[in-house]
Amino acid sequence: MTPGVRPLIAGNWKMHGLSADGLALARAVAAGGAGLGAELLVCPPATLVAAVASAMADGPVAVGGQDCHAAAKGAHTGDIAAPMLADAGARFVILGHSERRADHAESDAVVRAKAEAAIAAGLTPIVCVGEPEADRLAGRAEDVVAAQLAGSLPEGFGAAGGVLAYEPVWAIGTGRTPTEADIAAMHAMIRARLVAAFPAQGAALRVLYGGSVKPSNAVAILAIPHVDGALVGGASLVAEDFLAIARAAG
């Protein structure tokens, strides 16, 4: 953890959840989320953002989106704009997740434009970075992530209190995680880059770890320096597992 920084435990539900089970999950998280030291966030599919935000109104859990378009409105069939997410009750939005970068060919420039749009709409961007396994094995992991940072973060990221999420691509949904030493080294590099890019805010911006975070490894991961929370995938779909990870954050 970074001293003086409140940890954030964010759940990315991905493409899971219909009305009944999504609302049941949201209410279970909200019921167990009071009084925890960490800030809690759930990011349901776009179809559920408004309903989940309404169900969690005035509660201890924030709501976010999983993506937004770079434009505030326009002829972009199937997309959702940042102001629409904010209007639905979202406060955060995940951007540049590896699944978006891979499945939709999103470049760093696209992620940067989306982050600018999110900030303009009053949302806090959670910008994701991470290396594929081939780059990790070739010793290029830090170079790849540093390049993503340089290309994906807009000038206003620091002032907006943006969140950075490091997710090694090869660990997402696989049950595999890097060593604690590898996580520590990457998060230290990210922190140094954030401080250099945003001198006034970089030391206090939250850097999350994501990639097969679960109750059994959360305590160890969240104790690593510069790990200020977690971006949780599969475990966020089970309320007790998600809450157990949140409790591990203190």
Does residue 167 carry a catalytic annotation?
yes
Q: pLDDT at position 20, please?
A: 97
Calpha distance 101→90 (Å, rounded): 22
| Domains with residue ranges and CATH for the chain | 8-187+201-248 (3.20.20.70)
Q: pLDDT at position 250, please?
A: 80
Task: Give one DSSP letter per residue of 196-232, joined into a string.
Answer: HH-TTTTTTS-EEEESS--HHHHHHHHTSTT--EEEE
pLDDT digits (tens, 9 = 90+) for 185-215: 999 999 999 999 999 999 999 999 998 899 9
Tokens at 199, concatenated: 């001198």
User: Residue 171: pLDDT above 90?
Assistant: no
Q: Are 52 and 137 in contact (CB under 8 A)?
A: no
User: Residue 1: pLDDT above 90?
Assistant: no
Q: What is the mean pLDDT of the chain?
A: 96
From the candidates 39, 69, 97, 226, give the one annotated as an active-site residue: 97
Q: pLDDT at position 116, please?
A: 98
Does residue 155 carry a catalytic annotation?
no
According to DSSP H, which parts of 17-131 are helical? 19-32, 49-55, 82-88, 98-103, 108-120
Beta strand 207-210 pairing with 8-12? unpaired
98 is in an annotated binding site: no
Task: Give one DSSP letter per residue of 94-106, joined into a string.
Answer: EES-HHHHHHS--
From the candidates 106, 131, 142, 167, give the one annotated as an active-site residue: 167
pLDDT digits (tens, 9 = 90+) for 61-92: 999 999 999 999 999 999 999 999 999 999 99
Residue 163: in which H helix or E strand, if any?
Answer: strand 163-166
